[in-house]
Amino acid sequence: MLFEIEEIVDKVGPITPFPDFITDLLEHIPSPYSLVAMEWYCGGDVKNYFLSLRSKSSYYRYRSKLLEFGIDISKKSDVILLGQENYCTYAQ
């Protein structure tokens, strides 16, 4: 069973249950950044949002801060969240 899970994770990327992830985000990432991080993990187009509705400097400030936590909003999230259609705006 463990090897099957590892094989799935290798193919589709990390699988993370969202409730634990929200708790972790709120504990470690400051508030305005954690909201952007949640949208990114849900598959939201964070880069386009910043570049079309906010300033470039805001985008780079948020990107820089989130990179400290291993989140690169310049790329699409490759994390699959279990049951994300229940709580993610951008769930596919």
Tens of pLDDT, residues 8-59: 656 665 555 455 666 676 678 888 888 888 888 777 888 888 888 888 899 9
Element (H, E) at 15: strand 15-17
3-state helix, strand, coil in the chain (%, to 5): 60, 5, 35
What's this model's pTM, rounded to 2 decimal places?
Answer: 0.66
- Phi/psi at 33 (nearest 5 deg)? -75, -35
Q: What is the pLDDT of residues 54-87, one digit of tens each?
A: 888 999 999 999 999 888 999 988 776 666 666 5
* Ramachandran bin of 13, using left for φ above 0, alpha for ψ from -120 to 50, beta for the remaining angles: left
